[in-house]
Amino acid sequence: MELYSKDTAGQVARKLLDIKAIRLQPNQPFTWASGWKSPIYCDNRLSLSFPEVRTYIKNLLVEVIKKNFPDAEGIAGVATAGIPQGALIAEEMGLPFIYVRSKPKGHGMENMIEGKVTKGQKVVVIEDLVSTGGSSLKAVEALKASGFEVLGMAAIFTYGFDVARQNFDSANVKLICLSDYEAMLPQAVADNYASDEDLKSLAEWRTSPDTWKQ
């Protein structure tokens, strides 16, 4: 798990903060589905409603693929938020596009992968956000089981949890992200989305997200 560029990671975070795709509320934390209390909520789908941000992210993800996965023959989006991002990238690169459901469709062909399945095709997986990596890696396994060769994954943002790093290392899947929690924090303070006093609490969450504010 690595950052594409430290030079652009802050800029990506700034754009996500500006459009409120990233929201910080250390004093009024969000509650995740897992039950964790969190000072941050990240919804990168909002970037799709802002053409300038959408294009900036698309172009950076295309760069990531060209530089790190030059043999890519197709793009695979992870449902649901990775679908539009992946489709934009595939269109820009002139590559086939498929997407992976979280579970097989309950009727018809009962597909988990939508689009043409070409065994042996080399694909790059697109995610909008990586937390623990569980759902992302489930999509990778589904692709491999269908005969695709997964070159790696590119994502917009990650919280940078150690468990995610361990999961991707164990699965031997290369993950490259445009920005992460560590790059976002100083940008949030610089742009007044968080105070210097907030930083301690925000850093504590990153270290122990499962026990923070419990």
Contact 94, 87 (CB under 8 A): no
d(CA 138, CA 159): 18
Alpha helices in the chain (DSSP H): 6-18, 51-68, 82-93, 134-145, 162-171, 181-190, 196-207
131 is in an annotated binding site: yes
Q: Is the dihedral of CA 7, 2, 118, 103 positive or negative?
A: negative
Rounded distance between C-alpha atoms, residue 129 and residue 113, angstroms:
20
130 is in an annotated binding site: yes
Residues 6+ apart with CB under 8 A from 149: 120, 121, 122, 123
**Is 63 assigned to a binding site?**
no
The yes-or-no verdict on residue 93 having pLDDT over 80 is yes
Which of residues 214 and 93 earns the better pLDDT score? 93
Query: Is there a contact between 156 and 85 (Cβ–Cβ < 8 Å)?
Result: yes
Q: Is 102 annotated as a binding residue?
A: no
Residue 2, pLDDT > 70, answer yes
- Summarize pLDDT for 12-58 with one digit per residue, the tens: 999 999 999 999 999 999 998 878 899 999 999 999 999 999 999 99
Confirm whether residue 132 is marked as ligand binding.
yes
Mean pLDDT on 75-89: 96
The answer to pTM > 0.75 is: yes
105 annotated to bind ligand:
yes
> What tokens were used for 99?
């997407």
Tell whether 38 is in a known binding site: no
Rounded to whole angstroms, the Cα distance separating 168 from 171 reads 5
Question: Tens digit of pLDDT for each residue in 153-190?
Answer: 999 999 999 889 999 999 999 999 999 999 999 999 99
Whether residue 129 is annotated as binding a ligand: the answer is yes
**54 labeled binding residue:** no
**What are the phi and psi torsion angles at 79 (to 5°)?**
-65, 140
Question: With 0-12 CB in 10 A as exposed, 13-18 as middle and 19+ as buried, what is 126?
Answer: buried
207 belongs to an annotated ligand binding site: no
Amino acid type, 134: G
